[in-house]
Each structure stands twice: as structure tokens, then as C-alpha cells.
Amino acid sequence: MTKGCFITFEGGEGTGKTTQIPLLAEYLRSCGKDVVVTKEPGGTEVGRELRKVLCTGDPDKLDPLAETLLYYADRRMHLQQKVLPALAAGKWVISDRFADSTTAYQCYGYGGRIKKEVMDALYRIAVGDFYPDLTIVLDIDPQKGLARSLQRNETAAEKEIRFEQKELAFHNNLRRGFLEIARTAPRYVVLDADKSMEELYLDIVKTTEERLLDR
């Protein structure tokens, strides 16, 4: 059986990941792929509980190291229970966030309070030598992205705005982090998210075709 492909979407708040991931999944299914859509945190039963802790409430209730450890606890469960079994069964998995988000948010967002060496060590322990096949980084000016995200959360039953409440400097650091991370390996593609939904969708489909479907 052919092993599936693992696609991750990354980016700051309000970049459009939540909108674009189901669209890409639908496109891949039209190409005959068996697709699993998931997210971090929250892709497992335990992850859903961790998501409440991490994404809601006081923005300063956790220090960066505590956050990082919780994200990696979620990631370990997510990989073992959902991602790796699906890939082994030949399915394509699309995840809304993976380890690059933890590096961007907890290393860069907090201005280096968590060292990259610590993050790399946690990755080796929890994930090993497994990496996504393709990582799509959606990039937008943080102020525009925050406005989008806050508007989206206005009607949500449980407002996941813990990070949106952090100061703009955090989000500027976050954007810089994602762009720096994206320069470290060929699997990354940065796309301009300050476009219409239709234009961005076409960019994502083109990227996926060129990187994975046509290989």
C-alpha cells in the first residue's frame, strides 16, 4: 500500500487556514484521495481538552515553557492516535498547524524566551525524524489577520482568542518567525493570504499539484 501524504498549514491569526483546509480536502477527494482533516491542538479527545486550556482564557495564564510542553503532549497523542495510522493506511492528512506553530509562537512570539535548542530537543523526543511532506505558510499583515480572527470569533460559542489578546509586538515576532522557519527547508511554501478566498485557493491547489500530485 502506498503511504499517504502529510500536509500542514501554518501562519498567524486570521490567515484563512480554517477556510482553505476544507476546500483543499474537497479538491483532493475529487482527485481520488482519501483525506483526513485534523488540527493541533484538538485532533484527539485529549487534544480537545488541551485546546480549551491553550486557546481560551487569560492570555498570560501560562508561561512559554508550560505552553510548549502542553503543545507537545497534544502533538504526541495526535501523531500516535491519528496522523501516523492514517498515513500508514494510505490516506492524505491535512493538519491545521503542527510543530512549526509551536516554534513560531513559543520561540519567536515570546522573543526567544524558549530557546530553539529546547524546541528541537522536544521535537526529537516527541516526533522523532518524521516531518510533513508539504507545509503551506499563509502570510498576512498581523493587524489585518487579527481583525479577521476577532471578527470570526464574535459569533463563536467559545471564543478562542487567548493569543489574539496578546500585544501586536508578539504577532509581529510571530510573523517573522514563520517567514524565517519557511526558509529552512524545501517543504515550505509561503503564500500571500491577503487575497480573495478564491485567489488563495487557486494558489494552494497549484502548490499542492506541483509539490505532491505531479511528483
Distance CA 209, CA 215 (A): 8
Run of H or E including 43: none
Is the overall model pTM greater than 0.85, yes or no? yes
Q: Helix or strand or coil: residue 195? A: coil
* Cα four-point dihedral sign 132, 137, 142, 144: negative
Please state, in angstroms and rounded to a whole number, the distance separating the CA atoms of residues 213 and 193.
22
C-alpha span between 72 and 85 (Å, rounded):
18
Q: What pLDDT is attached to residue 215?
A: 64
Per-residue pLDDT of the chain (215 residues; tens, 9 = 90+): 678 999 999 999 999 999 999 999 999 999 999 999 999 999 999 999 999 999 999 999 999 999 999 999 999 999 999 999 999 999 999 999 999 999 999 999 999 999 999 999 999 999 999 999 999 999 999 999 999 999 887 766 578 999 999 999 999 999 999 999 999 999 999 999 999 999 999 999 999 999 998 76
Question: What is the SS3 assignment for 11?
Answer: strand
Alpha carbon 89 to its chain centroid, in Å, reads: 23
Domains of the chain in start order, with CATH, are 6-213 (3.40.50.300)
